[in-house]
Structure 1
Amino acid sequence: MTLYCEQTSYTHLADTFGTPLYVYSQNALTQAFKGYTEAFAALDPLICYAVKANGNLSIIRHFAALGSGFDIVSGGELARVLAAGGDAAKTIFSGVGKSEAEIEYALEAGVKCFNMESIPEIDRIQKVAARLGKTAPVSLRVNPDVDPKTHPYISTGLKANKFGIAYTDALAAYRHASRQPNLKIVGIDCHIGSQLTDLSPLVEACERILLLVDRLAEEGIVIEHLDLGGGVGIVYKDENVPDLQSYADEVQKRIGSRRLKLILEPGRSLVGNAGALLTKVEFVKKGEEKNFIMVDAAMNDLMRPALYNAYHHIENAEQKHTPPLPPTSSAPYAKPATSSAKTANSPARPATSWWYAAPAPTPPAWPATTTPATAPPK
């Protein structure tokens, strides 16, 4: 069996670019993005791709071309967005530890909003904005204390987590922010975790945040946008993930007549099922209890299985001669990975195989609508 990304075989890509190699389908990225825009169309949302999910410049550039905004957590990610043609005015600056230099850089660039996560951060952004003679658009990330029912390492919405301002403290934090002369409150934000496979925690978080929006309005603090973050899960094996249309319907029902701009920050659900990691088997080491497959990709290239003890699908793609593609065709996004050889536990396989680890068992044969690969940033 020969496996393909769109109409290009993985073995051809491995032969051409070497391994380890990340390969992403442009068509799959487009369809995933459209899934959000179409499901939430009635709410006219701003979809902000979470750059932390994959910061490759070609991927950022593609989402920018689709009209995406961006969710960033550092000055470095902002630099990547701008380098790839992203719009600072559609960029949300999240993250718990923004430095003064990063805040200044983002203010000068004109980001849409800072998602603030603590009282000290409120004071820091006020200080930098005052020094620059600017007004910083801000939102508070509120921790709704909702159990996302996901892996504890990626659960961020409980009161024990480091992220956000506690729900019970949020009103006082908004009051404090409203008194800062160089801050303009424009929104409210929450993000309860990643790889969420149940719709109910997302809906519950939305409900709790909207109660706070109404309470703030009673005090004259007007919220312009509702940022529900990301976190929608994807299929790695046999997960049942939330249906985007059902999610959109539930959010629309709860927003009701409130005049709120909806912002979403998907990451994994846009790129996770769009790519694969190609790695070459170097040799097989036979052990007393099991065999070890030595490959040229390492844990730094695919950390998730080791970090979360998570399932990740692996396929054997037999190496076959692949004729050159016609001049009118081009390869998907290809990004060489740099690493030393490591081990992978698996039954013995021929040492001449090409392997890839991918979220989806069978990559779809998308039409050949990709653009040439670009070199990754150094």
Structure 2
Amino acid sequence: MTTTPRVALDALLDRSRTVITSLQEPNGAYPASPSFSAYRGYCWFRDGSFIADSASAAGEVASASAFHDWCAMVLTRYADRIRDIVEAADAGTPLPDEQMLPARFTFDGALGLDDWWDFQLDGYGTWLWAAATHSERHGIDPARWADAAALAVDYLLSSWERPCYDWWEEHDEAVHGSTLGCIAAGLREAAESGLVTGERAERARAGAAEVRARLTRDAVVDGHLVKWIGSDAVDGSLSALIAPLGVIDASSALAAGTLHAVSEQLEVDGGVYRFRADTFFGGGRWPLLSCFLGLAYAAAGERDEAQRLLEWAACTATDTGMLPEQVAGYLLAPEYREEWLERWGPVATPLLWSHAMVLRLATELGVDGTELAA
């Protein structure tokens, strides 16, 4: 097994902290990538929530809190829109997709002017989960984000059954396994942490159980989670439902089946693809997905597998310690790579989400460089 020298891993973890905290906007927003043409100037609820969870777990408390403050600002800014969405859903006349909340916002909390595949529900569930986890981890009063959490809970309860785009901004005709998992985790943690209280907490708790029931009933084929309801394909994002989200018990047969399917169908030498039909930049392997798979293996007690996946992800760093969104080796669809390079330029590097997940898995394993030393 190829290993990462201690000095290299230590330096990468330090660099990841610096990338995350130094590039964070003064108001708390995390840029997805500071220079990538299609991402520049935007913060995603989903990516940012996982980045904030990594910062929180690694002890960067102020950084994570600032991001949750930013999310709360955004949600309260669009409170009237959320209420309109909820009222329309309750009346049986749901609003069209283009009037739903977007997946990403500009750093000042505005709606983007660029065309995007915007209607995605997972980010709002992920934010509830990350804010609740952060508040519990560091003893922060959840009332700080209570008004925004109430809006997010109401929004998700009104709309969770709707098809929408997935983590990858694709297939808005489907109900995706990962989306259901993010929503279930967020509703559960919002209720259990005190982010929402009283009758709303009871509705959130019941909603979480209902969403999870649909996930485990309708998004499972041959003993593993699937990409979307009605498909038998797997997706690299499904590992997150085992850990860190904890929607699927890591000791369960479903977790074992999902880990096996993701590893068997999507992993090559430690690198994990998004899905087998991927053509984005030729369909490369993503360091952040290797780290999600590693977190799931760690939760299942398979530490060696988790360390192996961390090593691969760490080894994708550039000479300057920057982690990319994906790498070019062993492409699934190499004939598409040039098309994307011409459209958007080089692969996003650095991607803050990649840095966050390497830091998060290293933190979970208690790695300081020693255990992965050559």
What range is the shorter-chain TM-score in?
A: under 0.3
TM-score normalised by length of structure 2: 0.23
More strand by share: 1
Larger radius of gyration: 1
TM-score normalised by length of structure 1: 0.23
More helix by share: 2
Which structure is richer in relative contact order (CA contacts within 8 A, separation 6 or more)? Answer: 1
